[in-house]
Structure 1
Amino acid sequence: MKRKSFLLALFLLSISLTAGCSTKQEHISIQKYIGKTYIFEAYKEKIEVERTEKTKEIIEKADWTEFKWEKGRPKADFIFYFNDDKNEGKIAVYYVWVNPDNHLVELTRDEHNRYVQLNRKDSETLLRLLH
């Protein structure tokens, strides 16, 4: 009887360790523009690494162009950054505008010096991360 209890406890411990190790998370700070101010919407901790890695890949492979900030441009719908990048000293803040007509996302970064408009598929991936 003691052996069965020991094996059961060992089994449950191994399952919990496996489950704990497979849910590595990325920490992302997101602010959403609501009304006339930005609301700190989330410090998202429970986002699967695969989703954030795909988003990082989209951002890195995007065809960024030089950009001149226009006065009077509406405020970004979202502002986000990957907190784990702070540790590496290369924090980049991304400003996101969502075009409601065709559901495309526009991004700026580097103090609005760089700009890209994502295709529909990449826009949907990014929006799933932000919502």
Structure 2
Amino acid sequence: MIGSKLKKITLFISLLAVLLIISGCLAEMRGQKITVQKRVGEDEIYEDYKEVTQKKQVQKAMDIVKNANWETTKKDMMRSADFQFQFPFKNSSEGKIASYSLWLSPDDEYLEIVTDSDKYVKLTKPDSEKLYEILIEEKLN
């Protein structure tokens, strides 16, 4: 009789542990995505294009953006951005989202990015190629 109760308690504790581990993994994955929107026509109208949810790809894109040589300057671009992308700030309990506007250079060789906080960067060609492939799933030029 005691052995049967002990087995039930052990089973209950095991199931509880598995549920806690799974919920922890889901919480870690939640928010780790990049939302990409594509400009429609010549106006500033954007439609959902895709979501990048593969953890390695998201991290690689975040590293490229984070490690870029950003300039703090108001940059007026000649046309509306080709794409917009967003991802949540890592470790943000407030649910903040980082938003970026992305332009392809006229010769499609590199990417230019502007943030809402007036930061600008022209990515290197290798970083442009990597980021474009992650966000758009196509080769740049």
Q: Could you say which TM-score interval applies, normalised by the shorter chain?
A: 0.5 to 0.7
2:123 is matched with which residue: 108, 118, 127? 118
TM-score by length of 1: 0.68
Aligned residue for 1:67?
73
1:38 is matched with which residue: 24, 35, 46? 46
Aligned residue for 1:14?
none
Q: Residue type matched to 1:98 in 2?
A: L
Deviation at 1:85, TM superposition (A): 3.0
Give ranges in structure 1 of 5+ residues lacking alignment: 1-20
Distance of 2:59 and 2:89 partners within structure 1: 12
Give ranges in structure 2 of 5+ residues lacking alignment: 1-24, 137-141
Aligned residue for 2:114?
108
| Bigger Cα Rg | 2
Residue deviations 1:16-58 (CA, integer Å, cap 9, x gap): xxxxx8xx6832221101203211222x15x321111111111
Q: Residue type matched to 1:81 in 2?
A: Q
Count of residue pairs the alignment pairs up: 104
Aligned residue for 2:35?
29
Deviation at 1:102, TM superposition (A): 4.7
Q: How much is the aligned-residue C-alpha RMSD, in angstroms?
A: 2.4
Q: Residue type matched to 2:35 in 1?
A: S
Q: For residue 93 of structure 1, give the secondary structure of its aligned residue in structure 2.
A: strand
Distance of 2:79 and 2:106 partners within structure 1: 14
Distance of 1:28 and 1:92 partners within structure 2: 10
Q: Residue type matched to 1:64 in 2?
A: W
2:105 is matched with which residue: 95, 99, 107? 99
Cα 1:124–1:41, aligned 2, differ >3 Å: closer, same or farther? same
Q: Residue type matched to 2:81 in 1?
A: A
Q: Residue type matched to 2:131 in 1?
A: L
Distance of 2:86 and 2:108 partners within structure 1: 25
TM-score by length of 2: 0.63
Distance of 1:80 and 1:102 partners within structure 2: 18
Deviation larger for 56-65 or 87-96? 87-96
Residue deviations 1:54-95 (CA, integer Å, cap 9, x gap): 11111111110012242x73111111111x438713421011
Q: For residue 98 of structure 2, give the secondary structure of its aligned residue in structure 1.
A: coil
